[in-house]
Amino acid sequence: MLGQGFVSAASIAASVLFILSLGGLSNQEKAKRAVWYGIVGMAVAVFFTAFGPGIGGYWWMIPMMIIGAVAGWHVAKRVAMTEMPQLVAALHSFVGLAAVFVAWNADLERRRVLAAQALEAGQQEFSAFAALVATKAPDELMFLQLEVVFAIFIGAVTFTGSVIAFGKLAGKVDGKSRQLPGGHMLNAGAAVLCLVLAIAYVSGAGFWTLLVLAALSFFIGWHLIMGIGGADMPVVVSMLNSYSGWAAAAIGFTLSNDLLIVTGALVGSSGAILSYIMCKAMNRNFVSVILGGFGAVQGVSAEIEGEQVAIDAGGVAAALNDADSVIIVPGYGMAVAQAQNAVSELVRKLRSAGKEVRFGIHPVAGRLPGHMNVLLAEARVPYDIVLEMDEINDDFPETDVVIVIGSNDIVNPAAEEDPGSPIAGMPVLKVWEAKQVFVSKRGQGTGYSGIENPLFFKENTRMFYGDARASVDSLLHLID
């Protein structure tokens, strides 16, 4: 058993490591070290919390920790990079459900303490948390009840919302926006009922209020995310990340655990900031997205004229051999095909031939921010030629060839040209301004959001159909 002094010192150390981890993730070169800061910080946090004062039940807690660690290791090793967003959503659901269970248990312990005090029983059999509750004044117990309510509400919303986000990202749930009759009014009505139940609970109603509150919150999370379309899923995952952080912070207050409060606040605030940045990058209203697209107005998309013209590897290679400047725009299709290493080899050959080659990265390329950056870093693409959208968008008119690999919505000119498009106003990479555009794509289907792309029908665009990795591999021996 460790003393409280050791636990407090460990909490400070873990908090510092978490802050260093978040700060380091903003730079690709420091990201690996930042991840290790987070790993060490979490190991310190778990160890000193588990063996701190007032903790017992090691005969079942330690085996469960081992089982969880082994399961987490096994799942993480099996999950491909393309499935990382789904894994993140699944992990968020665990945090939310844990918050609900801990909050329920906290109220049961509170009731147990009050019953024992009413019977003037001793405290010798109290758990560490129950003993803490026994020392609280009436007004402090009311705050404890408010913490329980908040943890259940945000935790339950996070759980079902994350489950639906996982389903949409994994293709197990339709990515289109779908709601029950009544739409947002159902969410509003459920939220009002949650408030009524919270007031009843604080006023002395039974444990049943927390059960009904959780059920309504589960519904809100499910219905809220079902009402958000696939194009906004990257924002949703980030938003749920924030929710899971606030749920953890609420439980931290309930358990009087400073480390949980700090960690939850870090996750909650950073997730909220990231969600706001992503909404800005996609020209989405932040409040509208987190409320399931409430108030969104969508017109009728313009009809697209023309046809998609295909080209073979020889034609693409000839254009690359004649080009002086090339920009590559990667997307989720590149990740699915695991084509990053073939792309890296293509870049090496083109640069060896004296050509200027750069990458244009949209803030929401892939399924999570930084998805493409991680893949390219994994394939050892130099950091200095990987540029963000704002850094490269003005260079397309002077570019000879653009190769789009598995991207759709982030290069869709309808965002600027069609006011009725679902993505109208969304900042996109203006690849159509280049002299020639080649789109590597499996077939003629639409992108993840289900929106047709006028780029594919433009005169300076040619469709390079096929698996991205096989297509890029076919170019390698044709490049001079």
Annotated catalytic residues are 409
Integer Cα distance of 399 and 326 in angstroms: 6
Integer Cα distance of 245 and 242 in angstroms: 5
Contacts of 39 (CB under 8 A, 6+ apart): none
Three-state secondary structure readout of 119-159: CCCCCCCCCHHHHHHHCCCHHHHHHHHHHHHHHHHHHHHHH
Integer Cα distance of 425 and 54 in angstroms: 56
Contacts of 452 (CB under 8 A, 6+ apart): 301, 304, 414, 446
Contacts of 25 (CB under 8 A, 6+ apart): 31, 34, 35
Structure tokens at 64: 């469960």
C-beta separation of 119 from 67 below 8 A: no
First to last CA, the chain: 68
Integer Cα distance of 95 and 245 in angstroms: 8
Identify the DSSP state of 364. T
φ, ψ for residue 478, nearest 5 deg: -100, -10
Integer Cα distance of 161 and 92 in angstroms: 9
CA distances from 277 to 7, 271, 281, 295, 334 (A): 36, 10, 6, 20, 24
The strand pairing partners of 465, in sequence order, are: 441
Which of 462, 461, 465, 453 has the alpha carbon at shortest distance from 304? 453
Burial tier of 394 (Cβ tally within 10 Å: 0-12, 13-18, 19+): exposed
C-beta separation of 375 from 330 below 8 A: yes
C-beta separation of 99 from 247 below 8 A: yes
Integer Cα distance of 293 and 286 in angstroms: 9
3-state helix, strand, coil in the chain (%, to 5): 65, 5, 30
Integer Cα distance of 368 and 332 in angstroms: 10
Integer Cα distance of 385 and 306 in angstroms: 34
Integer Cα distance of 145 and 46 in angstroms: 26
**The amino acid at 30:** K
